[in-house]
Amino acid sequence: MRSFVAVELPEGLLGPLLRLQAGLPGRPVPEDNLHLTLAFLGDLAEPELEALHEALAARSLEACELAVTGIVPFGGRAAKLIAAEVAPTEGLHDLHRTVRAAAREAGIDLPRERFRPHVTLTRFRGAGPDPAEAARLDRAMAEQAGLHLPTEWAAAVVLVGSTLRPEGARHEVLARYPLG
């Protein structure tokens, strides 16, 4: 099953992120799919998911602050998506490292990659935004320069199964781990 571990967004961030999303070009990510990925796991078999669940459940996961500091396009010259950038706090990095350590303990080999905390808000089809979307993106970037949403505390990490479908991914929470 295609899966990942993510920070579940607190209610206090969802409303502002949805309002921000409404002014952006591209295909909006459904509210139920908004999250901050800590580790993308790829396709895992049931025994691997169970081992990861046990490793995460055995750990003390510390709460961390989530501070949205702006919007940013991802994907190089032809943006593939627009995301809300989240401040890379020490607490968030600690949570990321803890999740990766649990994955290693469960025998899951994750590629080394730079952790850039963000919440994907919209996606573009194909080769990025068309000219009208690009103009809307430029306006949105200018309007949102200096954006800072109120800081919220993350309350949980979730293990998520993701099924790709033509209309977009369908996410299912497989397990939830409260943050202390």
Catalytic residue list contains 53: no
Catalytic residue list contains 35: yes
Give the pTM.
0.92
pLDDT tens for residues 136-180? 888 888 888 888 899 999 999 999 999 988 877 899 999 999 999
Domains of the chain and any CATH numbers: 2-178 (3.90.1140.10)
Q: Residue 21 has which token pair?
A: 């999303």
**3-state SS, residue 72:** strand
- Tell me 76's DSSP state: T
Q: Residue 10 has which token pair?
A: 């607190």
Q: Residue 35 has which token pair?
A: 């999250």
Nearest 5°: the CA angle 96, 65, 67 is 100
Point out the catalytic residue in the list 53, 93, 96, 118: 118
The mean of the pLDDT values for the chain is 93
Q: Residue 153 has which token pair?
A: 């505390």
The pLDDT of residue 43: 95
